[in-house]
Amino acid sequence: MQAGAIGQAGVIVVAAGRGTRMGTRESKQYLMLEEKPIIIHTLETFDRHPWIAEMVLVTGEQDVERCQSWVAEYGITKKIKVVPGGAERQQSVYHGLLHISTPWVLVHDGVRPFVTSSQITSCCEAAVHHGAAVLAVPVKDTVKKADEQGWVAGTLNRSELWAIQTPQAFRRDDLLSAHERAAQDGFIGTDDSMLIERLGIPVKLVEGGYNNIKITTPEDLDFAEWIRKKKHLLGEGL
């Protein structure tokens, strides 16, 4: 993203899921990490970024009020709306899109609090240059394809495999069209870039980082606490 595009991006932070893998009554995005809810750590990263003009936090309808309270309590400074999501993540992103006015939009998981400012910048720059971009990391493990009976049906070429992360960045109009087309077709994708691909728009991979984890299990939360401690010891910005 060129200097003239500073302030031309908005971000939809998706935090409407309730999830069960964490094994807690509280939704994972609201669990505490070093005395702050995970979702606040995520919002603060985008709040500090100079290219983000506005934010939309999409959450469960029952959580809108407390999230609005946290936004005020923790001093989020940028323009932000907290809106209820839908039954599926895809619907939640669409609801968020309706409240974004910037020409470029990022979509980010609320439970990925460790994305860095430089990663956000790289994703934005690639989107502006190529039209669409996603953060991703090369797959470390060998990946097997299985048949319906649980037998190995083949080994995939690891050099061609990437694990997709967020944020993902697009032209707002393209993403809106992609969501509307998917809704018309009854198609549910596993991420937003999948919907963009259906429009024939190529998506650029931007290398992210292995610390940009999605916190979904108790083990992830333990790792998140270790990452925070490591950053403190190294004196890195949080």
At 181, list the tokens: 């087309």
- Domain membership flag for residue 143: no
- Domain membership flag for residue 144: no
- Domain membership flag for residue 71: yes
- Domain membership flag for residue 220: yes
156 in Cβ contact with 143 (< 8 Å): yes
CATH number at residue 57: 3.90.550.10
- Domain membership flag for residue 210: yes
19 Cα distance to chain centroid:
16
Total number of domains constituting the chain:
1
Complete DSSP assignment for 10-46? EEEEEE----STT-SSS-GGGSEETTEEHHHHHHHHH
111 in Cβ contact with 15 (< 8 Å): yes
Give the global pTM.
Answer: 0.92
Instruction: Calculate the alpha carbon distances from 163 to 121, 137, 154, 212 in Å.
Output: 19, 5, 19, 11
Rg, the chain, Cα only: 18
By residue range, what is the domain housing residue 53? Answer: 3-134+162-234
Instruction: Calculate the alpha carbon distances from 40 to 3, 75, 79, 186 in Å.
Output: 27, 10, 15, 33
pLDDT tens digits in sequence order for the chain, 238 residues long: 454 456 689 999 999 876 555 556 668 899 999 889 999 999 999 999 999 999 999 999 999 999 999 999 999 999 999 999 999 999 999 999 999 999 999 999 999 999 999 999 999 999 999 999 999 999 999 999 999 999 999 999 999 999 999 999 999 999 999 999 999 999 999 999 999 999 999 999 999 999 999 998 888 888 898 888 887 777 665 5
- Domain membership flag for residue 8: yes
- Domain membership flag for residue 217: yes
